[in-house]
């Protein structure tokens, strides 16, 4: 890796330990570099077979060729192809080909990646500043570049274990009785669930860090009551602080200069849910400390997880822009021409209030008393620094605990202390398909703990879409159903009996696989290797490189989700080895079939999903609980096709202590000696393992299951 520094860049914090040496002359083999006014443009020819990967949370495919992408964190509920930016900015790109190269452009303003769009044979990167740091890799294996990027930016966030359970959200469950009713339904219907979300209506007038006491009286007792039933309550936290005299957060923020300013050094004002607000300046260490401490009140009331929203930051409108329209109307009125106002133009102008670039250009940060930074240069850091405020605080105040935190906006590096969700998608099949690619793309930049709103946020969800989305989400570390106000109720019992039964099966499967899913997460996060990977990570053939609607989770599961309506099956590509096709109906039904490598059309009616286990790899399951840690079953089931030898390592911990501080290990070796199986187990910190017995269900090449019991 080589590191370059140009101009005087703002230190984004993406890289934890900066290299000892930065080169000042930007020279990268194969790239033409042009400095034009205040821009740097990097151009490189793409060979026909080059594949371009990376860029994290963006629309489009896994291979990024043929599209433009802009890193400029954007609050948008319309995820359609013309959208060139979403909520996060991850300016890390890999060119996989005869020569494998990678670039991480550590600049938190706008960068335009034209990946063979304007000219199909060229990659052109336009950085809208000359102040930046740039990291460059050229490696024999493209995978090394990804791992090295994750190491450079500090690794991967590990949430608590309960956060791998199913989670239920809606905008909003407005009061304690409604939350109680939802919780009751889960338990009564036997659908496992670990968390219920509190969207903006739990607050008093949308004032951040308040609770509406009418709707949630005795909040602390309520949080405790829910926890006893196995539910974590997760409040939304928005950055905009309502401008209201007497409101403590506002008063403290104002008195201590915690807010971003405008050019006149007045606190910048922007309207979001509460009306006019100020935006905390998270570049200031004092402000992050103050903000971090504001979570304490919730933590003391028993809250253990938060979702940070609206932190691109979203701006509904500002008075600065409003005044312009008023002035226009006033002058038309003064001239007696009010009737001549073009309403369509007026409507466009008002629409442009939302996240107006001119407004972002009015914001200033003051990371230290001597330093003033223009927001436009560090726009993409806002959400990342907001999450950092939380992470720094809990690290200092509760070093012995692990919290759930995920954010809508993010920047490279924030994957080491926070997860993300993919924002306001819709109940569209296209968005289910997009979710498959997004999981892979998010993992390639280290956001393992991430996921989409299951069932879709906007628009109305159909039962079939819900089931197919749930099936995919068994393998999405963040598994949360969320829907917008005004849309059809999306809780699983709101459809029909059959959908309810099938969704229960799917969620129970998730809980059955949880020890394995969680263990793999820990293992892959520990070695900075993507947990969810495109096929081309593991296989070198051309078809693997082209397959974007399947992915690999951990050591040995390949998932082929159904993402079209009315599908009875789909084509599946199985590379290289033999695979055990598990036509999953429920966790109990583990009849599997051996398939040879190649292309297969496989039937997959709605009650099934297509999951494949690679030859000579093993997975583990346990009897599903109603919430994580409810009973801690003492039997672990191991399954897989073993033709030679397979090894499975299960990492387990309490799930709430700092990651990797209390791991115990169960290791299982299975050897096939002419279809006679030798099983060996090894343990580290055996007393802490929840399991006492292992039941191995090992398939041989004849398709027979060999059941072997073993005590640990």
> What helix, strand, coil percent values describe the chain, rounded to 5?
25, 30, 45
**In the complex, what is the shortest distance from the CB of residue 34 to ligand GLC, in angstroms, rounded to a whole number?**
38
Nearer to ligand GLC, 310 or 696 (CB): 310
Q: Which is nearest to 110 in space by CA: 312, 310, 319, 261?
A: 312
For the CB of residue 75, give the shortest distance to ligand GLC in the complex, in Å: 8
Residue from 10, 149, 164, 171 touching ligand GLC (CB under 6 A): that is: 171
Report how far residue 476's alpha carbon sits from residue 478's, in angstroms, rounded to the nearest whole number. 5
Contact pick of 50, 199, 459, 555 for ligand GLC (by CB under 6 A): 199
3-state secondary structure of 443: helix
Considering the complex, state which of residue 199 and residue 615 has its C-beta at the smaller distance from ligand GLC: 199
Nearer to ligand GLC, 200 or 249 (CB): 200
Residue 106 or 424 with smaller CB distance to ligand GLC: 424
Q: How far is the CB of 199 from ligand GLC (least distance, A)?
A: 5
Stated as kind and residue range, the H or E segment containing 111 is strand 111-115
Q: Least distance (Å) from ligand GLC to the CB of residue 424?
A: 5
Compare residues 236 and 613 and give the one whose CB is closer to ligand GLC.
Answer: 236
Q: Are 404 and 304 in contact (CB under 8 A)?
A: yes
Per the CB < 8 A criterion, the answer to whether 404 and 163 are in contact is yes
Interface residue with ligand GLC among 200, 203, 580, 636 (CB under 6 A) is 200
Q: Please state the closest distance from residue 676 (CB atom) to ligand GLC, in A.
A: 54
Q: Does the protein bind ligand GLC through residue 515 (CB under 6 A)?
A: no
The answer to whether 408 contacts ligand GLC (rule: CB under 6 A) is yes
Which stretch of DSSP H or E encloses residue 515? helix 497-526
Does 416 engage in binding with ligand GLC (CB under 6 A)?
A: no
The C-alpha atoms of residue 199 and residue 172 are separated, in whole angstroms, by 5
User: Closer CB to ligand GLC, residue 142 or residue 421?
Assistant: 421
Residue closer to ligand GLC (CB basis): 365 or 426: 426
User: Checking DSSP bridges between strand 453-454 and strand 479-481, what pairing results, if any?
Assistant: parallel
| Closer residue to ligand GLC (CB): 304 or 424 | 424
Shortest CB 482 distance to ligand GLC, Å: 6
418 within 8 A of 407, measured Cβ to Cβ: yes
Q: Show the beta-strand stretches assigned E in 243-363.
A: 269-272, 275-278, 305-308
CA atoms within 13 A on the CB side of 350: 9
- The answer for residues whose C-beta is within 8 angstroms of residue 357's C-beta and 6 or more apart is none
Q: Does 236 bind ligand GLC (CB under 6 A)?
A: yes
Nearest distance, CB of residue 198 and ligand GLC, angstroms: 10
446 and 557 in contact (C-beta within 8 Å)? no
Cβ 179 to ligand GLC shortest distance, Å: 15
- Residues in contact with 634: Cβ distance below 8 Å, sequence separation at least 6, in sequence order: 690, 691, 692, 693
In the complex with ligand GLC, the residue whose CB is nearer, 420 or 592, is 420
**Residue 309 binds ligand GLC, judged by CB under 6 A:** yes
376 part of the interface to ligand GLC, by CB under 6 A: no
How far apart are CB 429 and ligand GLC at their closest, in Å?
20
Our CB check for ligand GLC shows the closer of 78 and 329 to be: 78
Contacts of 659 (CB under 8 A, 6+ apart): 158, 402, 522, 525
| Residues within window 422-481 making contact with ligand GLC, judged by CB under 6 A | 423-424
Least separation in angstroms between CB 416 and ligand GLC: 23
The whole-angstrom separation of Cα 712 and Cα 710 is: 6
Instruction: Report which residue's Cβ sits closest to ligand GLC.
Output: 171
- 514 in contact with ligand GLC (CB under 6 A): no
Q: Which is nearer to ligand GLC, 362 or 482 (CB)?
A: 482
Query: 479, 455 in Cβ contact below 8 A?
Result: no
- Rounded to an integer, what distance in angstroms lies between the CA atom of residue 420 and that of residue 538? 25
CA–CA distances in Å: residue 519 to residues 553, 560, 634 = 12, 22, 16
CB of 355 to ligand GLC, least distance (A): 12
Q: How far apart are CA 442 and CA 423, in angstroms?
A: 13
Residues that bind ligand GLC (rule: CB under 6 A) add up to a total of: 9
Beta carbon of residue 408, minimum distance to ligand GLC (angstroms, whole number): 6
Q: Would you say 309 or 491 has its CB closer to ligand GLC?
A: 309
Output DSSP code: residue 267.
Answer: B
Strand bridging mode 479-481 / 166-168: parallel
Rounded distance between C-alpha atoms, residue 620 and residue 608, angstroms = 20
Element (H, E) at 613: strand 609-614
Contact residues for ligand GLC, defined by CB under 6 A: 171, 199-200, 236, 309, 408, 423-424, 482
């Amino acid at each position: 890796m080589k590191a370059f520094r140009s101009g005087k860049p703002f230190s984004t914090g993406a890289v934890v330990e900066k290299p000892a040496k930065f080169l000042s002359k930007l020279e990268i083999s194969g790239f033409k570099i042009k400095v034009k006014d205040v821009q740097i443009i990097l151009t490189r020819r793409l060979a026909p077979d080059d594949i371009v990967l990376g860029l994290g949370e963006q629309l489009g495919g896994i291979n990024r060729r043929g599209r433009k992408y802009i890193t400029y964190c954007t609050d948008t509920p319309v995820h359609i192809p013309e959208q060139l930016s979403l909520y996060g900015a991850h300016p890390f790109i890999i060119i996989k080909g005869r020569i494998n190269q990678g670039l991480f452009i550590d600049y938190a303003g706008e960068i335009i990646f034209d990946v063979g769009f304007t000219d199909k044979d060229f990659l052109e990167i336009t950085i809208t500043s000359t102040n930046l740091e740039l990291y460059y890799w050229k490696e024999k294996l493209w995978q090394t570049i990804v791992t090295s990027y994750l190491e450079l930016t500090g690794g991967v966030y590990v949430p608590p274990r309960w956060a791998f359970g199913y989670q239920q959200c809606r905008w909003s469950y407005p009061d304690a009785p409604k939350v109680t009713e939802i919780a009751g339904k889960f338990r009564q219907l036997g659908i496992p669930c670990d968390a219920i979300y509190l969207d903006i209506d739990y607050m008093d007038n949308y004032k951040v860090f308040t609770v509406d006491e009418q709707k949630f009286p005795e909040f602390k007792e309520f949080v405790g009551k829910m926890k006893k039933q196995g539910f974590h309550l997760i409040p939304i936290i928005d950055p905009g602080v309502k401008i209201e005299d007497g409101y403590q957060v506002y008063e403290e923020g104002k008195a201590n200069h915690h807010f971003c300013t405008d050019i006149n050094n007045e606190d910048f004002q922007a309207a979001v849910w509460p009306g006019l607000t100020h935006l905390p300046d998270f570049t200031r260490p004092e402000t992050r400390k103050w903000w971090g401490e504001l979570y304490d009140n919730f933590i003391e009331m028993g809250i253990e997880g938060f979702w940070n929203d609206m932190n691109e930051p979203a701006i509904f409108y500002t008075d600065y822009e409003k005044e312009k329209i008023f002035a226009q109307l006033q002058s038309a009125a003064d001239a007696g021409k009010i009737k001549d106002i073009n309403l369509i133009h007026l409507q466009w102008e008002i629409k442009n209030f939302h996240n107006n670039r001119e407004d972002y250009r009015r914001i200033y940060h003051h990371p230290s008393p001597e330093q003033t930074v223009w927001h436009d240069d560090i726009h993409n850091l806002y959400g990342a620094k907001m999450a950092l405020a939380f992470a720094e605080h809990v690290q200092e105040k509760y070093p012995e605990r692990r919290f759930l935190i995920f954010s809508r906006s993010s920047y490279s590096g924030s994957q080491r202390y926070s997860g993300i969700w993919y924002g306001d998608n819709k109940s569209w099949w296209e968005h289910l398909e997009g979710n498959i690619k997004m999981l892979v793309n998010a993992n390639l930049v280290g956001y393992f703990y991430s996921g989409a709103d299951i069932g879709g946020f906007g628009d109305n969800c159909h039962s079939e879409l819900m089931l197919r989305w749930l099936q995919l989400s068994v393998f999405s570390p963040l598994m949360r159903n969320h829907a917008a106000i005004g849309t059809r109720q999306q809780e699983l019992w709101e459809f029909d009996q059959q959908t309810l039964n099938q969704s229960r099966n799917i969620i129970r499967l998730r809980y059955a696989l949880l020890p394995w899913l969680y263990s793999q997460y820990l293992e892959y996060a520990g070695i900075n290797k993507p947990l969810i990977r495109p096929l081309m990570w593991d296989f070198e053939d051309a078809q693997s490189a082209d397959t974007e609607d399947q992915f690999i989770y951990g050591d040995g599961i390949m998932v082929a989700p159904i993402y079209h309506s009315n599908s009875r099956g789909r084509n599946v590509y199985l590379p290289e080895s033999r695979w055990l096709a598990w036509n999953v109906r429920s966790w109990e039904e583990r009849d599997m079939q051996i398939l040879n490598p190649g292309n297969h059309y496989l039937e997959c009616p709605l009650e099934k999903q297509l999951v494949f286990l690679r030859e000579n790899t093993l997975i583990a399951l346990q009897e599903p609980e109603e919430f994580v840690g409810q009973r801690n079953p003492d039997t672990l089931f191991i399954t897989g096709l073993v033709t030679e030898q397979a090894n499975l390592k299960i990492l387990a911990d309490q799930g709430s202590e700092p990651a990797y501080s209390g791991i115990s290990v169960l290791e299982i070796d299975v050897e096939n000696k002419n279809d006679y199986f030798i099983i060996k187990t090894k343990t580290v910190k055996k007393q802490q393992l929840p399991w006492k017995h292992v039941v191995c269900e090992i398939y041989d090449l004849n398709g027979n299951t060999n059941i072997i019991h073993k005590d640990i």
